[in-house]
Amino acid sequence: MRILKSSFAVVERRAEHAVKFFYSHLFWHNPGIRELFPASFEDMERQRDRLFAALTHVVAELESEALLPYLRDLGRDHRKFLAGPEHYAAVGTSLIAALAETSGNAWTPQAEKAWTEAYQMISDAMAEGADAGEDPPWWDAEVVRHLQYGQDIGVVTLKPLLPFPYLPGQYASVSSERVPTTWRTYSLGNAPRPDGTVDLHVSRIEDGRLSTALVRDTRPGHMLRLGAAGGQLVLRREDRPVSLIAAGTGWAPVRALLEELVEHPPDQDVRLFVVARDSAYLYDRPLIDAYAEACAWLGVTYITPAPGQHRNQATDRLATALSNRALWPDQDVYLSGPAPFIEETAYLLEELGARPGRIFHDTVPGAGRGNGPGGRPLGFGEWFLNRPAPHWHNPSGRAPRP
């Protein structure tokens, strides 16, 4: 493990070069694979960022019990790309080549052996996940309703043509024929319904082709594809008090968890914190207020900046609200929102006494934070060399996505 992490620390400093080398090597030696990837430059930029984010996550979690379930979910989800054993082998060869190219003096025979064995473990776990079920690679689903809130938030209701299995709090990848070969991950915003429909809560990302298509161009009758549901943000039902904390359209999985709690009321109290960059982004407030009025066990706190104040004030107000609450060691806490929001809030909660093993969240792949030159997503090489100041809100001023 030490060899892997020490060599990867060198690669991190040259991350942009490493990922570009990987894709160049992969496509040069396997030209038929190129058609499986997005055609546009912008989408490939995001694809490169997501690849390095996933690799970083795997390295960070090498000794975690959560790694194998994550890899199995990843393999199950990759069936939608029609990935076969030959693709896993090709990716492994190009990954090792990229690591060797960018590790410098840290690339030794021992490092090569450790990475080869680690990738074999990764590919075996992903293949196991892909082989573990009889579900289809994807589900075709018809859009039956489309609600738009302002210019940049949409709630898309889908009716899968086949039963779509998932648990409240999980997410699924989504694709549209309007943006071929592009898949993005969105949380499912409801508990299972008798009619089988599911809601996607989508926040439009600047220059995001799929999110723009889903928010502004999608209509009832259009068809989308859903990848297999994944994620671990599901209720544990441990007979402990629960705190739900959501920012932006990270509200979607928390809404699904809340629906499940309303359907099967808990014995303990539930605290709900809903964070938005201004009150106009509390698009589901009527539903939340109705639940709060009907459920004596539910307490709701809305967090927004004061009128006329900068959206950053919501961060401070959330910290104050959490600090004013007691009993954090007794709570099961469920967090949802942009990755920086989750990281900062989890750290604060631990400072307040919450137990790390009782703070639950998913790392849902995003589309980039838009901090790079010309407004493009910040490349990971740039990110590591010039890491931006942590803010949970989207710096572009648009509503964050889960």
**82 pLDDT exceeds 90?**
no
Task: Provide the H-helix boundaries in 78-220.
Answer: 85-102, 109-131, 209-212
Q: What is the pTM of this model?
A: 0.76
**171 pLDDT exceeds 90?**
yes
139-155 pLDDT per residue, tens = 999 999 999 988 889 99
Q: Report which of residues 74 and 402 the model is more confident about.
A: 74
26-55 pLDDT per residue, tens = 999 998 888 777 766 666 776 777 777 788
Question: Token pair of 382, please?
Answer: 């740039």
For residue 35, the model assigns a pLDDT of: 78
Reported in sequence order, the residue ranges of 192-275 that DSSP labels E, i.e. its strands, are 198-203, 223-226, 242-247, 270-275
Q: What percent of the chain has pLDDT over 90?
A: 51
Band of pLDDT at residue 313, cut at 50, 70 and 90 = confident
Q: How far is CA 119 from the centre of its chain?
A: 23
Least confident among 66-75, 244-253, 260-269: 66-75
**10 pLDDT exceeds 80?**
yes
Residues 236 and 332: beta-carbon distance below 8 Å = yes
Q: How many CB atoms lie within 10 A of CB 397?
A: 11
Q: Which domains does the chain have, with CATH numbers?
A: 2-131 (1.10.490.10), 139-226 (2.40.30.10), 242-360 (3.40.50.80)
Burial of 141 (0-12, 13-18, 19+ CB in 10 A): buried
For residue 363, the model assigns a pLDDT of: 62
Band of pLDDT at residue 190, cut at 50, 70 and 90 = very high
**127 pLDDT exceeds 80?**
yes
**384 pLDDT exceeds 70?**
no
For residue 65, the model assigns a pLDDT of: 85
Band of pLDDT at residue 365, cut at 50, 70 and 90 = very low
Closest by alpha carbon to 155, among 183, 177, 188?
188
Band of pLDDT at residue 396, cut at 50, 70 and 90 = very low
Question: Token pair of 208, please?
Answer: 């995001």
84-110 pLDDT per residue, tens = 888 889 999 999 999 999 998 889 999
Q: Report which of residues 85 and 356 the model is more confident about.
A: 356
For residue 155, the model assigns a pLDDT of: 94
Separation of alpha carbons 11 and 364, rounded Å: 23
Which position has the token pair 């009619």? Answer: 195
Q: CB-based contacts of 291: which residues, under 8 Å, 6+ apart?
A: 258, 262, 298, 300
For residue 386, the model assigns a pLDDT of: 38
Q: Report which of residues 256 and 387 the model is more confident about.
A: 256
For residue 41, the model assigns a pLDDT of: 62
Element (H, E) at 172: strand 171-176
Band of pLDDT at residue 381, cut at 50, 70 and 90 = very low
**383 pLDDT exceeds 50?**
no
For residue 13, the model assigns a pLDDT of: 86
Question: Token pair of 400, please?
Answer: 């964050």
